[in-house]
Amino acid sequence: MLQWKINLLDNGCVVTQDGEYLGTWESDDNDHPSFTPDGESEVLFFDVFIGSLCNRIEEWRKTNSTV
């Protein structure tokens, strides 16, 4: 089990605390992170801070969960 609800891994993967794969992340030239959901080709969220991006991903996951 991972430490945070949303984890940005070094290999570019975004996963939940339980290891559920959500998509990918990357940083721009200014180290601002963005998130692209699994199966999509366009960035869904961009933020200045990693923590803020993770919070947005978690809220998105809650509203888009089929569970």
Give the model confidence (pLDDT) of 29-62 as tens digits.
Answer: 999 999 999 999 999 999 999 999 999 999 999 9
* Residue 54 CB-density burial (10 A; 0-12 exposed, 13-18 middle, 19+ buried): buried
β-bridge mates for residue 35, sequence order: 25, 45
Looking at residues 9-36, what average pLDDT do you find?
96
| pTM metric for this prediction | 0.88
